[in-house]
Amino acid sequence: MDHLLLPFMEKINKQVILNNYWNTMSQELSKESSITFIAQSGGHLSGQIRVPGDKSISHRSIMLASLSEGKTTISGFLQGEDSLATLKAFQAMGVEINGPDEVGRVTIDGVGMHGLKQAKGSLELGNSGTSMRLLTGLLACHGFDISLSGDQSLSLRPMKRVTDPVMQMGAIIETTDKGTAPLKIKSSEKSQLKAIEYTLPMASAQVKSCVLLAGLYAQGKTCVTEPAPTRDHTERMLQGFGYELEIERLDEQRSRICLEGGGKLVACDIDVPADISSSAFFMVGASIAAGSDLTLQHVGINPTRIGIINILQQMGADIVLSNQKEVGGEPVADIRIRSVQLKGIRIPEDQVPLAIDEFPAISIAAACAEGQTVLTGAEELRVKESDRIQAMVDGLQILGIDCEGTADGMIINGGQLTSGVVDSLGDHRIAMSFAMAALRSAGSIIINDCANVDTSFPGFVELAQSCGLSVSLNKR
């Protein structure tokens, strides 16, 4: 695809070239009838690697830096399609953003809380649910109309969970009859939204963040009570940009987060740690493949994200953290994983919100464990990029594993993975999980519909190959 850029190289600056590259790549990927992973059986993982930057933090760094006063430099920004969708959305609204360069450095000249301009067209957010749900709150009161749209998968995902509370605050938002995208946010004569006291009906960091970000523009104090801990990157980053929050722990599970509207954000530099969700595939791979000894460097270990570590350790995994420190308000560490025979467990429900994105990978660990693993309280998995419960059950059954799906989880009986052809349903986490399964399979595993891996983990195949996984991709 690089040849498509050659005619422009002498005419336009580096940033325009980069933007054109990503637009062209997305178009080319959409034209591909299929991108398939072919994972050969056997092998082990070893060495030291650093996975790409945290997607959740990358999204939020673009959003808050754009609305801050001053210049922000972001290091380690994830150059995946989802994060780039957020970046391009703010460029479309008049924010000057340079980068990312080859090492993920981005500089942003903030426009302040009220400096965004109306985009010329709809903000196209691709497959990024985080972009759409957080922007629903952030753009609810800017004095101009805006439309948020996404790809076919994103257009099927539920959005009323964010539009309903923001509309309670006074926003005017139109959805489809099914409560899905595209979302049309209408300008209002009201100068401000009204603060609300909102109790989340489910443990969801995206809904919590949406309401809090809308609260930045609300008159009064907006408070969100969550029924169980969820990732707190929004709260940490708001404080990093100088915005005051009140955080009250109500009991072992529930917390209440409040902020007053009408404040400002002050630019600060951000170092994005390696993504623990992307690290999860390698944690599972190194745990299940005999002879593995792998170190993942500079991984974010935010307490609201370490469910994957807690669950694997309860299954008997050999995981050791070292070089622990705090960078930009986020705790990080190197994580060493050595292979061991895992055992099946009943996954504690209090760990489910802390590992909600990692259950496709955890399912592979369960398939290779001795005994039965039971997951409950994870109905949220049915409304991700795919129905992840059904997708994993279908794939594992194809590979010879005795398992079944339930309304809110799975029951997986450990056994011998066989060879087979599975469908990722265009879900990046399903694709990467089944690629790791080949480390313990009796034959090769072919995974179809893998183009969306670039949404969260560009370079996955090359990095996996570098530490011992025999995987390749085929475009047809």
> 422-467: per-residue pLDDT in tens?
999 999 999 999 999 999 999 999 999 999 998 889 999 999 999 9
Whether residue 249 sits in one domain with residue 296: no
pLDDT computed for residue 191 by the predictor: 61
Stretches in the chain below the pLDDT threshold 70: 1-33, 189-191
Question: CA dist 423 to 30, 392, 430, 434, 445, Å?
Answer: 17, 9, 8, 9, 11
* 438: in domain: yes
* 445: in domain: yes
The two structure tokens encoding residue 36 = 């398939």
Whether residue 357 sits in one domain with residue 426: yes
Strands 106-109 and 96-98: antiparallel
pLDDT computed for residue 31 by the predictor: 38
Q: Looking at 246, 271, 296, which one is the last position of a domain?
A: 271
Whether residue 437 sits in one domain with residue 346: yes
Question: CA dist 205 to 184, 274, 353, 405, 417, Å?
Answer: 22, 19, 9, 25, 34
pLDDT computed for residue 24 by the predictor: 37
* 384: in domain: yes
Active-site residue, selected from the candidate residues 54, 271, 275, 357:
357
Whether residue 394 sits in one domain with residue 289: yes
Quote the pTM value: 0.86
pLDDT computed for residue 252 by the predictor: 87
* 1: in domain: no
Whether residue 217 sits in one domain with residue 152: yes
C-alpha to C-alpha distance for 23 and 120, rounded to whole angstroms: 17
pLDDT computed for residue 32 by the predictor: 41
357 is catalytic: yes
* 6: in domain: no
* 12: in domain: no
Asked if residue 269 lies in contact with residue 75, where contact means CB atoms within 8 angstroms, the answer is: yes
Beta bridge partners of 421: 446
Q: In what order do the strands lie in the sheet with 246-249?
A: 197-199, 221-226, 255-260, 246-249
Whether residue 452 sits in one domain with residue 373: yes
Whether residue 308 sits in one domain with residue 172: no
pLDDT computed for residue 3 by the predictor: 40
The two structure tokens encoding residue 386 = 């795919």
Whether residue 59 sits in one domain with residue 49: no
Q: Looking at 228, 246, 271, which one is the last position of a domain?
A: 271
* 3: in domain: no
Q: Looking at 231, 246, 271, which one is the last position of a domain?
A: 271
Whether residue 223 sits in one domain with residue 284: no
Whether residue 334 sits in one domain with residue 198: no
pLDDT computed for residue 327 by the predictor: 86
C-alpha to C-alpha distance for 143 and 474, rounded to whole angstroms: 47
pLDDT computed for residue 135 by the predictor: 98
C-alpha to C-alpha distance for 240 and 270, rounded to whole angstroms: 9
Other Cβ atoms within 10 Å of 178 Cβ, number:
11
pLDDT computed for residue 14 by the predictor: 35
pLDDT computed for residue 190 by the predictor: 58
Whether residue 203 sits in one domain with residue 124: yes
Angle formed by the axes of helices 81-92 and 129-138, nearest 10°: 30
| Contact partners, residue 8, CB within 8 Å, separation at least 6 | 16, 17, 20
Q: How many structural domains is the chain composed of? A: 2
Whether residue 466 sits in one domain with residue 344: yes
Query: Taken in order 228, 229, 232, 238, is the CA torsion positive or negative?
Result: positive
For 294, the domain range is: 21-53+273-475
